DNA sequence: GGTTTGTTCAACCGAAAGGTTGAGTAAGGA
DNA sequence: TCCTTACTCAACCTTTCGGTTGAACAAACC
């Protein structure tokens, strides 16, 4: 799974990682702060952060022994663009189908009216 | 990974599945049609489709022996909403930081001007 | 210099993911 | 009825994932 988009989607497929992203949207946090609410070891959280970092979703600086984690909002654009593109196509197709069905209904009604008239 | 959002993100973390979604955005297709371009067996593609179906991204009907696959565009909203929510928060926070930095720069300049005046 | 705090690295484990082959089912066509 | 087409199920294999424990490193603190 080497490509960027795959890494980003995979990173957000985990509930703990999504929750960390949600919390990081509010404020930067250290590894220990992030680990606190979850029923897993701090090492596990450290691994989760590596996944998020490899996906480009977060960056880490250094502050004494602490490694504050910061959310990188730009990466979200990648996903949004991908999603919106295909959703739009699919919706347009759906609307075309609706149009075709409406046209067929119209024709049907015209036929019925002609029958009534005869 | 029982929750809906996790299943959707996980489903789209695979390049083959993302490509299938891209093609299904253009037109419905059967399992064999979908399998054709990839260097994997049709059974593997069948498994991929099950993943997409469990995530609610596609639905399947029946047409003689064929099982046409159809893209369900609504599920994309779930993801988009999630992404946009946290991106917006993170961006606002970034802009607040910008404002603080700008303010600090202003104060710095004011101080410099005062020093110049004295 | 030794200890505490914050974090990562390494080795391991069980479960799930993504692939295979081979057999089974379901429905049209000869 | 038999054959072919379209697809799924079952069993298996290998790699990755998410977790663990235990040790190591890095920087403050006493």
Lowest mean pLDDT among A30-44, B41-55, B86-100: B86-100
Contact B12 A14 (CB under 8 A): no
CA-CA distances (angstroms) from residue A4 to A105, B6, B51?
A: 46, 18, 21
Residues in chain A with CB shorter than 8 Å from the CB of B82 are: 18
B48 touches strand C (CB under 7 A): yes
What tens digit of pLDDT does each residue of B24-59 get? 999 999 999 999 999 999 999 999 999 999 999 999
Please tell me the pTM assigned to this model: 0.84
Rounded, the Å distance between the CA of B106 and C1' of C16 is 56
Confidence band of B115 (pLDDT split at 50, 70, 90): very low
Rounded, the Å distance between the CA of B14 and C1' of D25 is 36
Confidence band of A105 (pLDDT split at 50, 70, 90): low
For residue A108, what pLDDT is reported?
Answer: 57
CA distance B117 to B72: 68
Residues in chain A with CB shorter than 8 Å from the CB of B80 are: 80, 83-84, 87
Asked if residue B5 lies in contact with residue B79, where contact means CB atoms within 8 angstroms, the answer is yes
Distance from A116 to chain B by nearest Cα, in Å?
35
């Amino acid at each position: 799974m080497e490509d960027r988009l795959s890494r980003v989607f995979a990173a957000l497929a985990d509930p703990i990682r999504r929750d960390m992203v949600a919390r990081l949207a509010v404020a930067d946090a250290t590894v220990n702060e992030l680990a606190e609410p979850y029923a897993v070891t701090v090492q596990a959280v450290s691994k989760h952060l590596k996944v998020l970092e490899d996906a480009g979703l977060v960056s880490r600086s250094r502050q004494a022994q602490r490694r504050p984690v910061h959310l990188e909002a730009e990466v979200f654009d990648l996903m949004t663009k991908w999603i919106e593109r295909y959703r739009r196509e699919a919706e347009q197709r759906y609307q075309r189908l609706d149009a075709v069905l409406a046209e067929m209904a119209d024709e049907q009604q015209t036929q019925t009216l002609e029958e009534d008239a005869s």
